[in-house]
Amino acid sequence: MPKKQKTKKHPLKKFIRRAKPRAPRPAAESAEKPKRTFNLLRGMHDVLPREEKYRKPLYQSALELADFFQFSRIETPIMEEAGLFIRSIGRGTDIVDKEMYVFEDRDGNKICLRPENTAAIARAYIMHGMWNMPLPTKLWYWGPMFRYDRPQAGRYRQFYQVGYETLGDGGPAVDAELILIAYNFCQDAGVPVEIHLNSIGTPEERKNYKTALVDYYRAKRGYLCDDCKARLHKNPLRLLDCKNEKCQPVKDEAPQITDWLGEESKSHFMKVLEYLDELTVPYTLRHTLVRGLDYYTRTVFEIYPSLTGEAGAQSALGGGGRYDLLVEEMGGKPTPAAGFSIGIERMVAAIRAFNEANGLRPPAPKYDLYLAQLGDSARQSALRLLNVLRKSGLKVSFNLSKNSLKSQLESANSLQVPYALIIGQKEVQDNTAVIRDMESGTQEIVDQRKIDNILKKKLGKM
Ligand code: AMP
């Protein structure tokens, strides 16, 4: 009697057995104990596919701009020592006084979720001795920031920023190049913007200006809102940020910082304006623009959508400026620098507002063809073909969950693809496929092995 051959045990068999689905609990039992559902933390939001379709082109444009203007990507951690931001941004600012997520870790270190990224980049620049690299050092980033702000439209507690920073060059061409990048980023997204611009000089120039500003505001104390009365002592430059109607007449007549600039700061600013004129970047001089952070010197700017109505009145899409002293103050070598960041959620809101106002839709993805299949074995061939088509650089749409040819061709139609590729039982047996010209409706049968080349030829991709 022939010896019974021992069948080889499948190496995954024990796992397969274990993975057997458990019998569902009786409905009555689960109805008794409703499961707790979880909500988002206040001020947080999920980026769902419907928002991602706006964010993806923004990311691609950020990447292209970085490549063209020769910026390298830097990714710093979202958690840093709290002191890094307290020292660089400064006490008396909203971010440090009210908005930082600060907590102790298990070792008792005071850490925070980054409220912005410039200080972290200055920290990384010093830590990794980047001044030894050819100057200037040009870095860009894209990532989440955290501010414990009061949530409202366009204001979240976690939001994304894209930013570009140039370290090691104090010349005005750097300021203009950065403003150009910010401007191009918004233009690529189709959002018309204008740049608000000012120079806040050096710390000495600002000191003299602050004295004049405080003297002026003290004389008008009776006409000020309560916040401004406090700002007068705490952070006088923030007086110029006040949005309260009551303070506007006082603000309009306030001394202008540009009158306090020394020769060097003045000529730096004039040169920036000259470059922007040359580039035809639209800008408006705003003598009340000071930015909320301590580290800025000379040029400061903000980007506003030039839309009318509610969307136009929205707050800034982004902002930035020079910070010539920050790296030295953080313990590094003297390193003039400048940079800016743009809020991604605000950009998405501006694109949506612009599209709505102009009856536009977000750009739909473009495909070369639709792959339709009929039946189980056709689905298997379709999967194999998908891989072949992807490798030959064709963009294919498909839905392996659909079974009806009618509904798959309807999808092909609504995607406006030029061709559909159809595989049924017969095509699997013959190793063929049907190419359907979606416009004329004509069909031809082709050999599956030649399909990529045939399609590429038809699509003019060869
Ligand atoms: P800032 O560093 O405050 O000048 O912020 C730069 C940009 O980041 C702003 O112009 C906004 O687009 C965005 N941004 C700042 N704070 C928030 C926030 N709480 N929620 C959403 N976006 C924000």
pLDDT in tens, 405-416: 999 999 999 999
pLDDT at 264: 97
Given CATH 3.30.930.10, say whether it is the number of domain 49-201+261-357.
yes
pLDDT tens digits along 126-182: 999 999 988 899 999 999 999 999 999 889 999 999 999 999 999 999 999 999 999
pLDDT tens digits along 371-397: 999 999 999 999 999 999 999 999 999
Average pLDDT over residues 226-243: 87
pLDDT at 42: 96
Closest atom of ligand 1 to 346 CA is: 12
Q: Name the residue of 146, 346, 347, 348 whose CB sits within 8 Å of the most ligand 1 atoms, as the mutation to test its pocket.
A: 346
pLDDT at 448: 94
Residue 93 CA to ligand 1 centre (angstroms):
14
What CATH number belongs to 369-459? Answer: 3.40.50.800
Distance CA 91, CA 45 (A): 29
**pTM here?**
0.88
Q: 161 has which bridge partners?
A: 143, 343
Contacts of residue 30, defined as CB under 8 A and 6 or more positions apart, other chains included, come to none
pLDDT at 27: 56
User: Collapsing DSSP states into helix, strand and coil, what is residue 446?
Assistant: strand
pLDDT tens digits along 23-40: 555 555 556 788 999 999
Sign of the four-CA dihedral 274, 279, 283, 288: negative
pLDDT at 361: 86
The strand order across the sheet containing 369-373 reads 396-398, 369-373, 419-423, 432-437, 443-447
Q: Has residue 237 got a pLDDT over 70?
A: yes
Sign of the four-CA dihedral 267, 268, 269, 272: positive
Q: Average pLDDT, whole number, for the chain?
A: 91
pLDDT tens digits along 165-174: 999 999 999 9
Q: Which two tokens stand for residue 447?
A: 């050999």
Domain ranges of the chain: 49-201+261-357, 369-459
User: Collapsing DSSP states into helix, strand and coil, what is residue 336?
Assistant: coil
Q: Name the residue of 88, 161, 290 whose CB sits within 8 Å of the most ligand 1 atoms, as the mutation to test its pocket.
A: 161
Closest atom of ligand 1 to 157 CA is: 19
pLDDT tens digits along 320-363: 999 999 999 999 999 999 999 999 999 999 999 999 999 998 87
pLDDT tens digits along 30-78: 567 889 999 999 999 999 999 999 999 999 999 999 999 999 999 999 9
Residue 320 CA to ligand 1 centre (angstroms):
11
Q: Name the residue of 100, 142, 155 whose CB sits within 8 Å of the most ligand 1 atoms, as the mutation to test its pocket.
A: 155
